[in-house]
Amino acid sequence: MDGNFFIKTKIIFGRNSIERLSADDEKAVIFSSNSMLRYGFTNEVINAIDMPYFLIKDIKPEPEEKEIGKYVEMLEKQKPDVIIAIGGGSVIDTAKAALYHYKKAKLVAIPSTSGSGSEVTRASVISKNGLKYSIVAKHIAPSLAILDPRLPEKMSSKLAAITGMDALAHAIESYVSNTSSPFTKAYSIKAIKDIFEYLPESVNGGEEAREKMHYAACMSGIAISNARVGICHVMAHKLGIFNIPHGLAVALLLEETMKFNMQNKRARKEYDMIAREIGLENGGELIEKIKELKKKVGIKGMREYVKEEEYEDKIELMASMASDDKLLDFNPVKAGKEEIKEIYWKAYGCL
Protein backbone atom coordinates (compact mmCIF):
# COMPACT_ATOMS: atom_id res chain seq x y z
CA MET A 1 0.00 0.00 0.00
CA ASP A 2 1.32 3.43 -1.00
CA GLY A 3 0.03 6.79 0.21
CA ASN A 4 0.68 9.90 2.23
CA PHE A 5 -0.76 11.57 5.30
CA PHE A 6 -0.59 15.31 5.87
CA ILE A 7 -1.37 17.53 8.83
CA LYS A 8 0.04 21.04 8.86
CA THR A 9 -1.73 22.18 12.00
CA LYS A 10 -0.33 22.25 15.52
CA ILE A 11 -3.16 21.61 17.99
CA ILE A 12 -3.40 23.12 21.47
CA PHE A 13 -6.30 21.79 23.52
CA GLY A 14 -7.81 21.97 26.98
CA ARG A 15 -9.78 24.32 29.16
CA ASN A 16 -8.51 27.93 29.03
CA SER A 17 -6.15 26.99 26.18
CA ILE A 18 -6.75 30.40 24.57
CA GLU A 19 -4.35 31.67 27.23
CA ARG A 20 -1.61 29.57 25.60
CA LEU A 21 -1.89 31.51 22.34
CA SER A 22 1.26 33.47 21.72
CA ALA A 23 2.45 35.20 18.60
CA ASP A 24 5.58 37.08 17.62
CA ASP A 25 4.04 38.58 14.50
CA GLU A 26 3.72 42.26 13.68
CA LYS A 27 0.01 42.61 13.00
CA ALA A 28 -3.10 40.44 13.27
CA VAL A 29 -6.47 40.52 11.60
CA ILE A 30 -9.10 38.80 13.73
CA PHE A 31 -12.22 37.30 12.16
CA SER A 32 -14.71 36.88 15.01
CA SER A 33 -18.28 35.70 15.35
CA ASN A 34 -20.49 38.10 17.26
CA SER A 35 -21.16 35.44 19.89
CA MET A 36 -17.46 35.09 20.69
CA LEU A 37 -17.30 38.86 21.15
CA ARG A 38 -20.36 38.79 23.37
CA TYR A 39 -19.02 36.03 25.60
CA GLY A 40 -15.62 37.72 25.94
CA PHE A 41 -13.52 35.04 24.22
CA THR A 42 -12.39 37.39 21.45
CA ASN A 43 -11.06 39.79 24.08
CA GLU A 44 -9.10 36.90 25.59
CA VAL A 45 -7.47 36.40 22.18
CA ILE A 46 -6.65 40.11 21.93
CA ASN A 47 -5.07 40.07 25.38
CA ALA A 48 -3.08 36.92 24.59
CA ILE A 49 -1.49 38.15 21.35
CA ASP A 50 -0.53 41.63 22.60
CA MET A 51 0.04 43.16 19.16
CA PRO A 52 -1.67 45.60 16.81
CA TYR A 53 -4.84 44.08 15.36
CA PHE A 54 -7.83 44.81 13.15
CA LEU A 55 -11.15 43.22 14.05
CA ILE A 56 -13.65 41.88 11.52
CA LYS A 57 -17.11 41.01 12.88
CA ASP A 58 -20.72 40.66 11.68
CA ILE A 59 -19.71 37.69 9.52
CA LYS A 60 -22.68 36.00 7.88
CA PRO A 61 -23.33 32.29 8.45
CA GLU A 62 -22.81 29.97 5.47
CA PRO A 63 -20.35 32.33 3.68
CA GLU A 64 -21.25 33.51 0.19
CA GLU A 65 -18.69 33.87 -2.59
CA LYS A 66 -19.80 37.45 -3.25
CA GLU A 67 -18.88 38.43 0.33
CA ILE A 68 -15.28 37.20 0.18
CA GLY A 69 -13.93 40.03 -1.99
CA LYS A 70 -14.51 42.68 0.67
CA TYR A 71 -12.52 40.65 3.20
CA VAL A 72 -9.66 40.23 0.74
CA GLU A 73 -9.62 44.03 0.33
CA MET A 74 -9.45 44.45 4.12
CA LEU A 75 -6.50 42.08 4.30
CA GLU A 76 -4.68 43.87 1.49
CA LYS A 77 -5.21 47.17 3.30
CA GLN A 78 -4.25 45.94 6.79
CA LYS A 79 -1.35 43.71 5.63
CA PRO A 80 -1.40 41.23 8.53
CA ASP A 81 1.14 38.46 8.89
CA VAL A 82 -1.24 36.43 11.06
CA ILE A 83 -4.98 35.90 10.71
CA ILE A 84 -6.95 34.61 13.69
CA ALA A 85 -10.41 33.16 13.15
CA ILE A 86 -12.55 32.59 16.25
CA GLY A 87 -16.06 31.25 15.81
CA GLY A 88 -17.93 28.49 14.04
CA GLY A 89 -17.10 26.82 10.76
CA SER A 90 -18.54 29.70 8.77
CA VAL A 91 -16.17 32.21 10.38
CA ILE A 92 -13.15 29.98 9.88
CA ASP A 93 -14.14 29.19 6.28
CA THR A 94 -14.62 32.90 5.56
CA ALA A 95 -11.12 33.65 6.84
CA LYS A 96 -9.70 30.75 4.82
CA ALA A 97 -11.44 31.86 1.64
CA ALA A 98 -9.99 35.35 2.07
CA LEU A 99 -6.55 33.91 2.80
CA TYR A 100 -6.79 31.85 -0.38
CA HIS A 101 -6.46 35.12 -2.31
CA TYR A 102 -4.27 37.08 0.13
CA LYS A 103 -1.57 34.38 0.62
CA LYS A 104 0.66 36.50 2.88
CA ALA A 105 -0.28 35.35 6.39
CA LYS A 106 -0.49 32.26 8.54
CA LEU A 107 -3.81 31.25 10.05
CA VAL A 108 -4.82 30.46 13.63
CA ALA A 109 -8.24 28.80 14.01
CA ILE A 110 -10.20 28.74 17.27
CA PRO A 111 -13.48 26.88 16.68
CA SER A 112 -16.56 27.53 18.80
CA THR A 113 -18.62 24.70 17.31
CA SER A 114 -17.87 20.99 16.99
CA GLY A 115 -18.58 19.84 13.47
CA SER A 116 -16.81 21.28 10.46
CA GLY A 117 -13.23 20.37 11.38
CA SER A 118 -12.22 23.45 9.42
CA GLU A 119 -9.58 24.22 12.05
CA VAL A 120 -7.36 21.48 10.56
CA THR A 121 -8.39 21.13 6.92
CA ARG A 122 -7.10 22.50 3.62
CA ALA A 123 -10.63 23.35 2.47
CA SER A 124 -13.02 26.26 2.74
CA VAL A 125 -16.69 25.65 1.94
CA ILE A 126 -18.50 28.66 0.50
CA SER A 127 -21.78 29.20 -1.34
CA LYS A 128 -22.78 30.65 -4.67
CA ASN A 129 -26.50 31.19 -5.21
CA GLY A 130 -27.19 28.86 -2.31
CA LEU A 131 -25.09 25.99 -3.69
CA LYS A 132 -21.95 25.08 -1.78
CA TYR A 133 -18.53 24.25 -3.19
CA SER A 134 -15.04 23.83 -1.79
CA ILE A 135 -11.83 25.80 -2.23
CA VAL A 136 -8.84 23.57 -1.51
CA ALA A 137 -5.24 24.73 -1.04
CA LYS A 138 -2.43 23.84 1.34
CA HIS A 139 -1.71 27.44 2.29
CA ILE A 140 -5.18 27.94 3.81
CA ALA A 141 -4.75 25.08 6.28
CA PRO A 142 -4.32 26.64 9.72
CA SER A 143 -0.85 26.62 11.24
CA LEU A 144 -2.40 26.43 14.71
CA ALA A 145 -5.73 25.27 16.09
CA ILE A 146 -6.84 25.97 19.65
CA LEU A 147 -9.52 23.68 21.03
CA ASP A 148 -10.82 25.36 24.17
CA PRO A 149 -13.91 23.45 25.39
CA ARG A 150 -15.35 26.55 27.06
CA LEU A 151 -16.36 27.83 23.62
CA PRO A 152 -18.61 24.97 22.46
CA GLU A 153 -20.29 24.99 25.87
CA LYS A 154 -22.10 28.10 24.59
CA MET A 155 -23.73 26.26 21.67
CA SER A 156 -27.49 25.76 21.66
CA SER A 157 -28.72 22.17 21.80
CA LYS A 158 -29.87 22.42 18.19
CA LEU A 159 -26.47 23.61 17.01
CA ALA A 160 -24.71 20.91 19.03
CA ALA A 161 -26.91 18.30 17.34
CA ILE A 162 -26.41 19.35 13.73
CA THR A 163 -22.71 20.09 14.00
CA GLY A 164 -22.24 16.75 15.74
CA MET A 165 -23.96 14.95 12.87
CA ASP A 166 -21.67 16.75 10.43
CA ALA A 167 -18.67 15.42 12.34
CA LEU A 168 -20.15 11.90 12.28
CA ALA A 169 -20.67 12.08 8.52
CA HIS A 170 -17.08 13.28 8.08
CA ALA A 171 -15.81 10.30 10.05
CA ILE A 172 -17.96 7.73 8.24
CA GLU A 173 -17.37 9.09 4.73
CA SER A 174 -13.62 9.38 5.26
CA TYR A 175 -13.51 5.78 6.53
CA VAL A 176 -14.98 4.38 3.29
CA SER A 177 -13.32 6.91 0.97
CA ASN A 178 -11.34 5.69 -2.03
CA THR A 179 -8.32 7.48 -0.54
CA SER A 180 -8.66 6.29 3.05
CA SER A 181 -5.60 4.79 4.72
CA PRO A 182 -4.75 3.12 8.03
CA PHE A 183 -3.83 6.57 9.33
CA THR A 184 -7.09 8.30 8.36
CA LYS A 185 -9.13 5.33 9.56
CA ALA A 186 -7.57 5.59 13.01
CA TYR A 187 -8.85 9.15 13.34
CA SER A 188 -12.20 8.27 11.75
CA ILE A 189 -12.99 5.34 14.02
CA LYS A 190 -12.02 7.12 17.22
CA ALA A 191 -14.26 10.03 16.23
CA ILE A 192 -17.16 7.68 15.38
CA LYS A 193 -16.94 5.93 18.74
CA ASP A 194 -16.85 9.19 20.68
CA ILE A 195 -19.69 10.78 18.71
CA PHE A 196 -22.05 7.88 19.29
CA GLU A 197 -21.12 7.90 22.96
CA TYR A 198 -21.15 11.62 23.70
CA LEU A 199 -23.39 13.43 21.21
CA PRO A 200 -26.70 12.87 23.05
CA GLU A 201 -25.26 14.16 26.32
CA SER A 202 -23.57 17.03 24.46
CA VAL A 203 -26.97 18.06 23.10
CA ASN A 204 -28.23 18.03 26.70
CA GLY A 205 -25.42 20.43 27.64
CA GLY A 206 -23.01 18.12 29.48
CA GLU A 207 -19.62 19.81 29.87
CA GLU A 208 -17.51 16.66 29.52
CA ALA A 209 -19.54 15.58 26.50
CA ARG A 210 -19.10 18.99 24.86
CA GLU A 211 -15.34 18.67 25.32
CA LYS A 212 -15.26 15.11 23.92
CA MET A 213 -17.31 16.19 20.91
CA HIS A 214 -15.01 19.15 20.28
CA TYR A 215 -12.02 16.83 20.01
CA ALA A 216 -13.94 14.22 17.99
CA ALA A 217 -14.91 16.86 15.42
CA CYS A 218 -11.26 17.84 15.07
CA MET A 219 -10.24 14.21 14.59
CA SER A 220 -12.88 13.89 11.87
CA GLY A 221 -11.41 17.02 10.30
CA ILE A 222 -7.95 15.45 10.22
CA ALA A 223 -9.44 12.38 8.53
CA ILE A 224 -11.27 14.31 5.81
CA SER A 225 -8.27 16.55 5.20
CA ASN A 226 -6.52 13.45 3.91
CA ALA A 227 -9.28 11.05 2.80
CA ARG A 228 -11.91 13.66 1.85
CA VAL A 229 -15.67 13.16 1.87
CA GLY A 230 -18.10 11.52 -0.54
CA ILE A 231 -21.60 11.52 -1.92
CA CYS A 232 -23.37 12.54 1.29
CA HIS A 233 -21.49 15.83 1.46
CA VAL A 234 -21.75 16.38 -2.28
CA MET A 235 -25.53 16.13 -2.11
CA ALA A 236 -25.77 18.08 1.15
CA HIS A 237 -23.89 20.99 -0.40
CA LYS A 238 -26.59 21.23 -3.08
CA LEU A 239 -29.39 20.89 -0.51
CA GLY A 240 -28.15 24.23 0.84
CA ILE A 241 -30.26 25.83 -1.88
CA PHE A 242 -33.13 25.62 0.64
CA ASN A 243 -31.09 27.52 3.26
CA ILE A 244 -30.78 24.37 5.35
CA PRO A 245 -27.77 24.51 7.70
CA HIS A 246 -24.99 22.28 6.40
CA GLY A 247 -24.90 19.88 9.35
CA LEU A 248 -28.64 19.33 9.12
CA ALA A 249 -28.43 18.73 5.36
CA VAL A 250 -25.76 16.09 5.91
CA ALA A 251 -27.85 14.41 8.62
CA LEU A 252 -30.88 14.24 6.33
CA LEU A 253 -28.93 12.38 3.63
CA LEU A 254 -26.52 10.18 5.56
CA GLU A 255 -28.45 6.90 5.76
CA GLU A 256 -29.63 6.85 2.13
CA THR A 257 -26.17 7.63 0.79
CA MET A 258 -24.75 4.83 2.94
CA LYS A 259 -27.36 2.41 1.55
CA PHE A 260 -26.33 3.45 -1.96
CA ASN A 261 -22.66 2.82 -1.18
CA MET A 262 -23.38 -0.62 0.27
CA GLN A 263 -23.70 -2.03 -3.24
CA ASN A 264 -19.89 -1.81 -3.28
CA LYS A 265 -18.33 -4.88 -1.61
CA ARG A 266 -15.42 -2.94 -0.05
CA ALA A 267 -17.66 -0.17 1.29
CA ARG A 268 -20.11 -2.71 2.72
CA LYS A 269 -17.24 -4.51 4.46
CA GLU A 270 -15.98 -1.23 5.90
CA TYR A 271 -19.42 -0.23 7.18
CA ASP A 272 -19.50 -3.67 8.84
CA MET A 273 -16.11 -2.92 10.42
CA ILE A 274 -17.39 0.38 11.82
CA ALA A 275 -20.45 -1.43 13.16
CA ARG A 276 -18.36 -4.01 14.99
CA GLU A 277 -16.22 -1.27 16.55
CA ILE A 278 -19.32 0.11 18.29
CA GLY A 279 -20.77 -3.26 19.29
CA LEU A 280 -23.04 -3.94 16.32
CA GLU A 281 -23.10 -6.77 13.77
CA ASN A 282 -23.13 -5.09 10.36
CA GLY A 283 -23.65 -1.96 8.29
CA GLY A 284 -27.41 -2.38 8.28
CA GLU A 285 -27.42 -2.14 12.07
CA LEU A 286 -25.12 0.86 11.82
CA ILE A 287 -27.68 2.67 9.66
CA GLU A 288 -30.39 1.89 12.22
CA LYS A 289 -28.10 3.18 14.98
CA ILE A 290 -27.71 6.46 13.08
CA LYS A 291 -31.49 6.76 12.81
CA GLU A 292 -31.78 6.24 16.57
CA LEU A 293 -29.09 8.84 17.22
CA LYS A 294 -30.85 11.41 15.05
CA LYS A 295 -34.09 10.82 16.92
CA LYS A 296 -32.32 11.24 20.26
CA VAL A 297 -30.85 14.59 19.25
CA GLY A 298 -34.07 15.95 17.73
CA ILE A 299 -33.41 15.71 13.98
CA LYS A 300 -36.57 14.95 12.01
CA GLY A 301 -37.21 13.84 8.42
CA MET A 302 -36.68 15.90 5.28
CA ARG A 303 -40.38 16.77 4.98
CA GLU A 304 -40.15 18.78 8.19
CA TYR A 305 -37.66 21.18 6.59
CA VAL A 306 -38.56 21.40 2.88
CA LYS A 307 -41.97 21.53 1.19
CA GLU A 308 -42.47 18.78 -1.39
CA GLU A 309 -43.38 21.13 -4.26
CA GLU A 310 -40.22 23.20 -3.65
CA TYR A 311 -38.12 20.04 -3.40
CA GLU A 312 -39.55 18.69 -6.66
CA ASP A 313 -38.90 22.02 -8.37
CA LYS A 314 -35.18 22.00 -7.43
CA ILE A 315 -34.32 18.30 -7.53
CA GLU A 316 -33.26 18.31 -11.19
CA LEU A 317 -30.86 21.21 -10.58
CA MET A 318 -29.47 19.68 -7.40
CA ALA A 319 -28.89 16.30 -9.04
CA SER A 320 -27.28 17.88 -12.09
CA MET A 321 -24.92 20.00 -9.99
CA ALA A 322 -24.08 17.11 -7.67
CA SER A 323 -23.26 14.76 -10.54
CA ASP A 324 -20.55 17.19 -11.72
CA ASP A 325 -18.92 17.54 -8.28
CA LYS A 326 -15.29 16.37 -8.18
CA LEU A 327 -15.72 15.11 -4.62
CA LEU A 328 -17.61 12.16 -6.11
CA ASP A 329 -14.21 10.82 -7.19
CA PHE A 330 -13.58 9.91 -3.53
CA ASN A 331 -16.85 8.01 -3.13
CA PRO A 332 -16.66 4.19 -3.29
CA VAL A 333 -19.52 4.00 -5.82
CA LYS A 334 -19.81 6.09 -8.98
CA ALA A 335 -23.02 8.07 -9.13
CA GLY A 336 -24.63 9.81 -12.07
CA LYS A 337 -27.46 12.28 -12.18
CA GLU A 338 -30.25 9.69 -12.15
CA GLU A 339 -28.80 7.75 -9.22
CA ILE A 340 -28.38 10.97 -7.26
CA LYS A 341 -31.93 12.04 -8.03
CA GLU A 342 -33.19 8.70 -6.75
CA ILE A 343 -31.25 9.11 -3.50
CA TYR A 344 -32.73 12.59 -3.04
CA TRP A 345 -36.25 11.17 -3.44
CA LYS A 346 -35.55 8.30 -1.07
CA ALA A 347 -34.22 10.75 1.52
CA TYR A 348 -37.48 12.68 1.13
CA GLY A 349 -39.47 9.49 1.68
CA CYS A 350 -41.04 9.29 -1.76
CA LEU A 351 -39.47 6.01 -2.98
Which domain CATH number covers 182? 1.20.1090.10
Please indicate, yes or no, if residue 4 is contained in any of the structural domains: no
Rounded to whole angstroms, how far apart are CA atoms 220 and 101?
A: 26
Q: In this model, does residue 40 exceed pLDDT 90?
A: yes
Confidence of residue 24 (pLDDT cuts 50, 70, 90): confident
Mean pLDDT confidence for 280-298? 98
Bridge partners for 111 per DSSP: 87
Q: In this model, does residue 23 exceed pLDDT 90?
A: no
Rounded to whole angstroms, how far apart are CA atoms 170 and 115?
A: 9
49, 120: one domain = yes
246, 313: one domain = yes
Rounded to whole angstroms, how far apart are CA atoms 223 and 44?
A: 30
Q: Convert the pLDDT of each residue in 202-238 to its tens digit.
A: 999 999 999 999 999 999 999 999 999 999 999 999 9
CATH number at residue 66: 3.40.50.1970
Which residue blocks in 87-145 are alpha helix, DSSP H? Answer: 89-102
Domain boundary among 138, 153, 168: 153
Q: In this model, does residue 269 exceed pLDDT 90?
A: yes
Domain count, the chain: 2
CA angle 222, 226, 274 (to 5 degrees): 70
Residue 133: how many other CB atoms lie within 10 Å:
17
Q: Convert the pLDDT of each residue in 115-145 to its tens digit.
A: 999 999 999 999 887 778 889 999 999 999 9
pLDDT at res. 351: 65
Please indicate, yes or no, if residue 47 is contained in any of the structural domains: yes
Please indicate, yes or no, if residue 172 is contained in any of the structural domains: yes
Mean pLDDT confidence for 171-199? 98
Mean pLDDT confidence for 110-114? 98
Rounded to whole angstroms, how far apart are CA atoms 170 and 116?
A: 8
Question: Bigger pLDDT: 3 or 273?
Answer: 273
Domain extent for 193: 155-348
pLDDT at res. 310: 97
Q: In this model, does residue 301 exceed pLDDT 80?
A: yes
pLDDT at res. 50: 86
Please indicate, yes or no, if residue 2 is contained in any of the structural domains: no
229, 110: one domain = no
Domain boundary among 107, 125, 153: 153
Instruction: Indicate the pTM of the whole model.
Output: 0.96
Q: Are 137 and 100 in contact (CB under 8 A)?
A: yes
pLDDT at res. 107: 98
Q: Convert the pLDDT of each residue in 61-108 to its tens digit.
A: 888 899 999 999 999 999 999 999 999 999 999 999 999 999 999 999
Mean pLDDT confidence for 190-194? 98
Terminal Cα-to-Cα distance of the chain (whole angstroms): 40
Please indicate, yes or no, if residue 5 is contained in any of the structural domains: no
Burial class (CB in 10 A: 0-12, 13-18, 19+), 154: middle
207, 339: one domain = yes
Rounded to whole angstroms, how far apart are CA atoms 2 and 45?
A: 41
pLDDT at res. 133: 84
Please indicate, yes or no, if residue 3 is contained in any of the structural domains: no
Q: Are 49 and 23 in contact (CB under 8 A)?
A: yes
Bridge partners for 109 per DSSP: 85, 145
162, 17: one domain = no
Domain boundary among 136, 153, 170: 153
113, 49: one domain = yes
117, 195: one domain = no
Q: In this model, does residue 1 exceed pLDDT 80?
A: no
Confidence of residue 303 (pLDDT cuts 50, 70, 90): very high
199, 140: one domain = no
336, 202: one domain = yes
145, 159: one domain = no
Please indicate, yes or no, if residue 232 is contained in any of the structural domains: yes
Query: Three-state DSSP class for 230?
Result: coil
Quote the DSSP letter at residue 88: S
Q: Are 184 and 174 in contact (CB under 8 A)?
A: yes
86, 121: one domain = yes
Question: Bigger pLDDT: 25 or 297?
Answer: 297
148, 191: one domain = no
Mean pLDDT confidence for 264-272? 98
CB neighbour list of residue 187: distance below 8 Å, 6 or more residues apart: 171, 174, 219, 220, 222, 223
Q: How high is the mean pLDDT of the chain?
A: 96
